[in-house]
Amino acid sequence: MSNHSSAMEFCLLGFPGSQELHHILFAIFFLFYSVTIMGNTIIIVIICVDKHLHSPMYFFLGHLSAVEMLATSIIVPMMLWGLLLHEMQTVSLTACVTQLFLYLALGTTEFALLGVMAVDRYVAVCNPLRYNTIMNSHTCISVVIGSWVFGFLCEIWPVYATFQFTFRKSNVLDHFYCDRGQLLKLSCGDTLFTEFVLFLMAVFIVVGSLVPTIVSYIYITSTILKIPTASGRRKAFSTCASHLTFVVIGYGSCLFLYVKPKQTQAAEYNKIVSLLIIVLTPLLNPFIFTLRNDKVKEALRDGVKRCCQLLKD
């Protein structure tokens, strides 16, 4: 980006419509964001405080909640600020690079954690007697650190490749954040090869974490079906239901947005799918992992009881 004729700041078009519509959208998205932050914070706190939740499954869930909070906080506050402005929102080149890198890095970290959680469920259901030996504290800490490092290292080249082009056509992004597809649309030069490499990397990241998830659930399903009693099958499946639900939602939306050969897709399409990933999925995360998990619900009830007792005292 040493070329001085290249854009040094970008304008975000955000959402179309009147100022009144923007205020309504602000209220809705602010509510969603507040619930997301509160819900994921509660999950992290109860996992840290409640001794019954000091197990690998909840250790991974705590990190997943942290990733969800950070990822949504990188995009949503800027989006909310843009909805309040009467003019077009501007963002510097440095801020744009930072936002895109952190968002993609956290997304990759999330995929890695989902794959790890699937393997954890496989060991718990298919090898319960060896679970504590295999998923010991050293293993858990190592795979979590590996997931974070993998997520951030994997996105260095894609972000560099996006910003190696000059942006002389225009500096107006038809989005509410620094979307890679829209940036490539504005870039000068032939982006076909770069888009193809980015597509291959997206396939590697998404499918690379999806394969162990699918294989794990094939073995889990096979093991559960061999359990003679219905109550036993129900109990075994309940330990995986929350993770499986989140996997379907998370992978489904991301496959539509990132795993496609042509990164420069229609802005309206990108905005809708981006909203699903950035706003809706993190919002659902606390509900998925609390409403479908008896241990978390019990920990929440205990926490509420303790708070009530402290208020009475």
pLDDT value, residue 202 = 84
**pLDDT value at 264 more than 60:** no
Say how many domains are in the chain: 1
What is the average pLDDT across 225-247? 80
Q: Residue 3 falls within a domain, yes or no?
A: no
Q: How confident is the model at residue 276 (pLDDT cuts 50, 70, 90)?
A: confident
pLDDT value, residue 258 = 57
- Top pLDDT among 157 and 231 is at 157
CATH at 187:
1.20.1070.10
Q: Residue 124 falls within a domain, yes or no?
A: yes
Interhelix angle 294-312/19-49, rounded to 10 degrees, is 90
**pLDDT value at 260 more than 60:** no
119-139 as b/e: b if 16+ CB within 10 A: bbbbbbbbeeeebeeebeeee
- Top pLDDT among 18 and 215 is at 215
Q: Which domain holds residue 60?
A: 9-311
Q: Residue 178 falls within a domain, yes or no?
A: yes
Q: Residue 2 falls within a domain, yes or no?
A: no
Q: Residue 132 falls within a domain, yes or no?
A: yes
Q: Residue 17 falls within a domain, yes or no?
A: yes
Q: Residue 19 falls within a domain, yes or no?
A: yes
Q: How confident is the model at residue 4 (pLDDT cuts 50, 70, 90)?
A: very low
> Among 38-42, 182-186, 228-232, 264-268, whose mean pLDDT is lowest?
264-268
What is the average pLDDT across 214-220? 91
Q: Residue 4 falls within a domain, yes or no?
A: no
Contact status, residue 197 vs residue 161, Cβ threshold 8 Å: yes
